[in-house]
Structure 1
Amino acid sequence: MTNESDIAVEEEVTDVAVETNEDVESDDLLVEEGEIAGDYLEQLLDILDFDGDIDLDVEGDRAVVSIDGGSDLEKLVGRKGEVLDALQELTRLAVQQSTGERSRLMLDVAGWRAGLRNELTELGTETARRVLETGERESLRPMTPFERKIVHDAVAAVDGVSSESEGVEPQRRVVVLKD
């Protein structure tokens, strides 16, 4: 004989199990994306005769692939990351061709994006603190959507200020305001 509390507990356990299964399936798909991307990039490195170690990871809801170790890798970053952006898009297309699904994979080469993320986080935090202190809004230089997101996240971590994007691509920029 089961009572209502037993049924409620069973339902909760079932809900948790379903969420866990969905999370595992999602992670499995992201790992698959990373493996496909890794194979694609490994072939590219072989064609270019570049040395590099490929590292696969999952961060949040996206696969992250990093290439590190080779002295020629800076050529794959290019000026202001332009070559890296193009390579990331080609890699996403290779994943999409294989899986049939659009990929949000993030590619980093020689730690360039990781370094940029640190710089932009610092910029966002410093700007937010300055705006909080002076009360005057500040506009930052034009940035890509990736760069703006990092700055917005850094500003959001500081109480008393907010940020928004203004302008039209490619001149769109972050503006930090006191609340």
Structure 2
Amino acid sequence: MDTALIETSVRSIISKLGLPVDGIEVSEAAGSTIFTIRTIESGKLIGKNGETLSALNHIVKKMLEKEVPRDFHFVIDVNGYHHKKIKSLEDQAKLVAERARTFRYDVELPPMNAYERMIIHATLKDATDIQTMSHGEGPLRHIVVRYIDPTIPQSPASLD
């Protein structure tokens, strides 16, 4: 895939917003191409809880859906925010799992988007004494982390 088309589209949108771009770095991670925008105006591009950055990703993907193959996955990042967010979610998942183990009760996480929930599920998937479940609908969808006592045999019905 020619990454120049995506990079040009990103630069065009940002210039229309009147924001400076120091550069765009292209890298590969976990089967996705990452376009990392370097700018001193990162707060304006990231927005509250990454909402502006999420919208920018959505807009660029919609703009290019006819030119970019469906199997080409890319993410637009700003000054490493995406990487830091993933690390933060992984740390949060481990902390909550430890809390569920220690106190042996279900721990509910705040509502998250699908991508954030996927990070939590993936982080805890190999824990034999922890189960993650998504609950709720729409913007209220969240994860519940449950401790499963490994000394007690579990039937599939008891996990619900």
What is the TM-score when the length of structure 1 is the normalising length?
0.73
CA spacing shift, 1:100–1:106, aligned 2, 3 Å: closer
1:67 equivalent to 2:37? Answer: yes
For 1:37-89, what per-residue CA distance to the aligned partner results, in whole angstroms no more than 9, with x for missing partners? 11211223334241231111222332221112x21122111112111111101
Paired residue total:
147
**Percent sequence identity over aligned pairs:** 20
SS at the partner of 1:45?
helix
For 1:113-139, what per-residue CA distance to the aligned partner results, in whole angstroms no more than 9, with x for missing partners? 222111111010011112122221111
1:91-170 equivalence runs, <5 A: 91-99=60-68, 101=70, 104-170=73-139
1:104 positional shift: 3.4
* Matched residue type, 1:62: S
1:44 equivalent to 2:36? Answer: no
* Matched residue type, 1:174: I
* Matched residue type, 1:40: S
SS at the partner of 2:115?
helix
2:21·2:37 contact (CA, 8 Å) conserved in 1? no
1:54 equivalent to 2:24? Answer: yes
Partner in structure 1 of residue 156 of structure 2? none
For 1:138-158, what per-residue CA distance to the aligned partner results, in whole angstroms no more than 9, with x for missing partners? 111111111111111222243
What is the TM-score when the length of structure 2 is the normalising length?
0.81
Partner in structure 1 of residue 152 of structure 2? none
1:165·1:173 contact (CA, 8 Å) conserved in 2? yes
Partner in structure 2 of residue 4 of structure 1? none
**Larger fraction in helix:** 1
Residues of 2 paired with 1:146 and 1:120: CA distance?
11
1:92·1:103 contact (CA, 8 Å) conserved in 2? no
Unaligned runs of 5+ in 1: 1-28
Q: Segments of 4+ in structure 1 off by > 6 A?
A: none
